[in-house]
A = this chain, B = another copy of it.
Amino acid sequence: MMKRYKLTISYDGTGFAGYQIQPAGRTVQGEIERCLSVMHKGGTVPVSASGRTDAGVHARGQVLHFDSSLAIEPKRWIKALNALLPADIRVLMAEEAESGFHSRFSAEGKEYVYKVNTSLQGDVFQRNYTCHFPYVINADLVQDAIPHFLGTHDFTSFCSARSEVEDKIRTITSLDLDIDGDDWTFTIRGNGFLYNMVRIIIGTLLEVGQGKIAPADIPVLLKAKDRTKTGKTAPAHGLYLNRVFYGQIEDKYS
């Protein structure tokens, strides 16, 4: 009997051409489907994710689903897949899901983390995991700009011009900045994110911190619906898909 399984996975995006299978280059989806195929004696097992991540972007809690007729307990899936997967992808959780569960369409929100290191020389151990930004940034200016992003807005100015999505209205429920010495960590939650949206918001906040954009200009930039007026897209390797939220609103942001 076919059952639907939900997987929560973590990956180091450094060695991948992105999440989604493509003609050339190593992908997370490609590795997962290869391992599932081994477990299914060569059969094809398509996997769906909560969303794609770009080359270099990391995940601490990407969610996938797939269907299988193998009679394997959820916990055994973790062990079996991790034994086959390369070291830069780990399955953290496996659960049996309802047949109507869909990793993408059932998702009600996501949390991303973006890491920045402001030290002069950078940290060799963080070079693939944190955006090195060795410039003077004014934290007060950044904190003043943050509330302007909260709530429901048309984020046309904050998504890639290549985005083909028609509806660019999204809701950001929280955006927090934690500063620990030279390490800045942004945590952003919302009901959905457009292509490059987190990276453009962060890139813009960094320019706010440098004094290039005023905090009070954020509402103006949102209204302009013009990608050319906002900040640079922050590099992929500082970004982490941290969590995907499913289920009731009240649980969602626990």
Q: Which residues of A contact B (CB under 8 A)?
A: 10-12, 58, 78, 82, 87-92, 121-125, 127, 129
Q: How far is the CA of A10 from the CA of B91 in the complex (A)?
A: 32
Closest beta carbon of chain B to A79's beta carbon, Å: 9
Majority SS at the chain A contact face: mixed
Closest beta carbon of chain B to A9's beta carbon, Å: 9
Identical copies of this chain, number: 2
Question: Is the pair B90, A12 in contact by a Cβ cutoff of 8 Å?
Answer: no
Q: How far is the CA of A110 from the CA of B121 in the complex (A)?
A: 23
Question: Is the pair B88, A10 in contact by a Cβ cutoff of 8 Å?
Answer: no
Question: Is the pair B91, A124 in contact by a Cβ cutoff of 8 Å?
Answer: no
Contacts of A124 in B (CB 8 A): 10-12, 87-90
Closest beta carbon of chain B to A26's beta carbon, Å: 15
Closest beta carbon of chain B to A18's beta carbon, Å: 16
Q: How far is the CA of A53 from the CA of B90 in the complex (A)?
A: 29
Question: Is the pair A121, B87 in contact by a Cβ cutoff of 8 Å?
Answer: no
Which residue of chain B is the closest to A93 with respect to CB atoms?
A: B121
8 pairs of A and B residues whose beta carbons are closest in the complex: A12-B124, A90-B121, A10-B124, A87-B127, A90-B124, A88-B124, A92-B121, A12-B125
Q: Could you jot down 22 A-B contacts, CB within 8 Å?
A: A10-B123, A10-B124, A10-B125, A11-B124, A12-B124, A12-B125, A12-B127, A58-B125, A78-B121, A82-B121, A87-B124, A87-B127, A88-B124, A88-B127, A89-B124, A90-B121, A90-B122, A90-B123, A90-B124, A91-B121, A92-B121, A125-B129
Closest beta carbon of chain B to A207's beta carbon, Å: 24
Contacts of A91 in B (CB 8 A): 121
Closest beta carbon of chain B to A15's beta carbon, Å: 10
Which residue of chain B is the closest to A91 with respect to CB atoms?
A: B121
Contacts of A92 in B (CB 8 A): 121
Q: How far is the CA of A89 from the CA of B123 in the complex (A)?
A: 9
Which residue of chain B is the closest to A13 with respect to CB atoms?
A: B124
